[in-house]
Amino acid sequence: MNLRFGLGALALCIALAGCVKKGDVAERTPVADLGAYGQAAVAVEVPDKVKDSQKHQQSLTNALAERLRKKGFDIVASDAATLLVKVKVTDVDEGSSLAAGLSAGGDAKVAMSVDLFAQKENNKSLGAFDVTGNSKSNGSTSINGVNTKAIEDRAGTAMEAAADQIADFLEAHRKK
């Protein structure tokens, strides 16, 4: 009995250790059923004060469009969309290359506010939520003892994690 309990506890610890939370979603205003809104357009705003803001705006737009497409949304131009997903990046913490290189954290974090609008219904609000994303990962790779996270685009990875959070949240609100 004690051996089974010990093995079960060990398996649980291993399973929990393998889970890395890549972000979070907090609803600001309740999100409506999005089942009737199949054609989506994405509008992303990244403040100019953010390093590489244009690059981040384009990569976040592309990442979010790709993830929404995989969730069953048709990505169209904004004038043809039934749903407008408006994303505003509110904070970017690039992390630390030195800490990442030494495997001592250094992960990037991003925060965004997302507003949903019914394009064909006079831009009626369909809800709003806040999203965070980070560049944490379960494993790492090193070359000559230096963690390769020191040279990767950690902010881009955090933005992709936030795009995953947004797409998953929108899919959960489609009752079709």
Matching CATH number, 21-172, of 3.40.50.300, 3.30.9.30, 3.40.50.720, 3.40.50.10610 = 3.40.50.10610
Measure the CA–CA gap between 166 and 114, rounded to whole angstroms.
Answer: 8
Would you state the pLDDT for residue 12? 45
pTM of the predicted structure, to 2 decimals: 0.76
Model pLDDT for residues 2-22, shown as the tens digit of each residue: 656 555 544 444 444 445 566
Domain regions of the chain by residue span: 21-172
SS3 171: helix
Model pLDDT for residues 102-111, shown as the tens digit of each residue: 444 557 898 9
Measure the CA–CA gap between 146 and 95, rounded to whole angstroms.
Answer: 16
Beta bridge partners of 84: 41, 117
